[in-house]
């Protein structure tokens, strides 16, 4: 058990971080090179000002017509996305691990707060799941991979919650939790989770086209 723990919390962490950062960088660079080769005008039309203008509207809750028309979805998706980045970085248990490994630490949230936020994330995942099953327009687009991706994202939070509360088998669950987190990180560059990396570019490009060329808003 200890050997497994040491392995998943040691070398595997390195592997997952390398895959995440390296993979994301690779995807970005290869896409940029491909764009230079095949869609060179993207560089011509990309505008920092209008790209950022569009991105800004879309990353502000209720900043676009679309967000305002779907208030429940907007609240859930913003809370969810903020939490899945915020919790792992500012969780005290994670910070202890950083400190033990590299002697670095920073501000962290209380365990109770983390607990509540984890529930929020899990509830959001259930919301997305139900949405996929119930809404015809989402169901129509859904394939097995969409459920797998949702599971990849939900798993670290469910297992983390389980481990923290020391429910039965929590030691094994702790190991599963670490692996689940690593899988999620490693999956980002190579699944549709890549939207995390590509979002600024796709939105920014549409914002540039709409703003600089077409003198219109795209939100």
Partner 1 sequence: MAEPAIKRNDESYKIVDEGIDKGIARLSPEKIEQVINKVLAAETGARLKTYVETCVHCGLCSEACHYYLSHDNDPKFSPAGKVKQTIWEILKRKGKVDPEFIRDASRIASTECNLCRRCAMYCPFGIDIAYLMSVVRRLCHMLGVTQLYIQDTAHSHSATLNQMWVKEDEWIDTLFWQEEEAQDEISSLRIPIEKEGSEIFYSVIAPEPKFRAQLIYQAAVIMNAAGVDFTMPATPGWDNSDQCMFTGDYEMMGRLKKAHFETAMRLKVKRIVMGECGHAFRSVYDVGNRWLAWKMPPIPVTHAVEFYYELLKQGKIKIAKKYDKPVTFQDPCNIIRGKGLHEKARYVVEALCEEFIEMHPNREHNYCCCAGGGVINTGPQYKMKRIKGNRIKAEQLFATKTRGAKVIIAPCHNCHGGIEDILHHHGLDMELHFLGDIIYKVMEKPV
Question: Rounded to the nearest whole angstrom, what is the least distance from the CB of residue 121 to partner 1 in the complex?
Answer: 17
* By CB under 8 A, residue 203 contacts partner 1: yes
* Residues in 91-150 that interact with partner 1 by CB under 8 A: 135-144, 146, 149
Tell the residue number behind the tokens 């980002």, with chain if given.
188
Helix (H, G, I), strand (E, B) or coil at 64: coil
> Is residue 175 a contact partner of residue 23, using CB atoms and an 8 Å limit?
no
The site for partner 1, by CB under 8 A, has a size of 52
Q: In this chain, which stretch among 119-127, 164-172, 174-182, 211-219 interacts with partner 1, using CB under 8 A?
A: 211-219
Q: Which C-beta is closer to partner 1: that of 94 or that of 131?
A: 131
What own/partner pairs with CB < 8 Å and gap ≥ 24 does 158-163 have? 158/122, 160/118, 161/115, 161/118, 161/119, 161/122
**How many CB atoms lie under 10 A from the CB of residue 162?**
19
Which residues make Cβ contacts (< 8 Å) with residue 181, sequence separation at least 6?
16, 88, 156, 160
State which of residues 29, 48, 60, 65 lies at the interface with partner 1 (CB under 8 A).
65
Sites for partner 1 among residues 18-47 (CB under 8 A): 31-32, 34-35, 37-39, 41-42, 44-45
Of 146, 152, 137, residue with least CA distance to 183: 152
Which residue's CB is nearer to partner 1, number 107 or number 140?
A: 140
Element housing 5 (H / E): helix 2-9
2 sits near partner 1 (criterion: CB under 8 A): no
* Binding footprint of partner 1 on the chain (CB under 8 A): 31-32, 34-35, 37-39, 41-42, 44-45, 54, 58, 64-66, 69-70, 73, 135-144, 146, 149, 192, 194-195, 198-199, 201-207, 209-210, 213-219
């Amino acid at each position: 058990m200890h050997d497994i723990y040491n392995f998943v919390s040691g070398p595997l962490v390195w592997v997952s971080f390398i895959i995440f950062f390296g993979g994301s960088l690779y995807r970005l660079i290869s896409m940029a090179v491909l764009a230079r080769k095949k869609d060179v005008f993207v560089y011509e039309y990309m505008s920092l000002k209008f790209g950022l203008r569009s991105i800004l509207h879309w990353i502000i809750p209720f900043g676009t017509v679309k967000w305002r028309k779907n208030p429940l979805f907007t609240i859930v998706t913003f809370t969810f996305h903020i939490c899945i980045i915020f919790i792992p970085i500012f969780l005290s248990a994670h910070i202890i691990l950083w400190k033990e490994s590299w002697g670095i630490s920073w501000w962290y949230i209380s365990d109770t707060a983390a607990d509540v936020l984890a529930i929020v994330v899990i509830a959001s995942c259930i919301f997305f799941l139900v949405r996929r099953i119930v809404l015809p327009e989402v169901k129509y687009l859904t394939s097995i991979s969409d459920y797998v991706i949702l599971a990849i994202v939900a798993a670290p939070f469910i297992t983390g919650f389980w481990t923290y509360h020391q429910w039965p088998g929590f030691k094994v669950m702790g190991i599963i939790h670490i692996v689940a987190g690593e899988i999620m990180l490693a999956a980002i560059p190579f699944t549709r989770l890549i939207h995390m990396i590509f979002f600024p570019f796709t939105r920014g490009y549409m914002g540039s086209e709409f703003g600089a060329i077409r003198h219109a808003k795209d939100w």
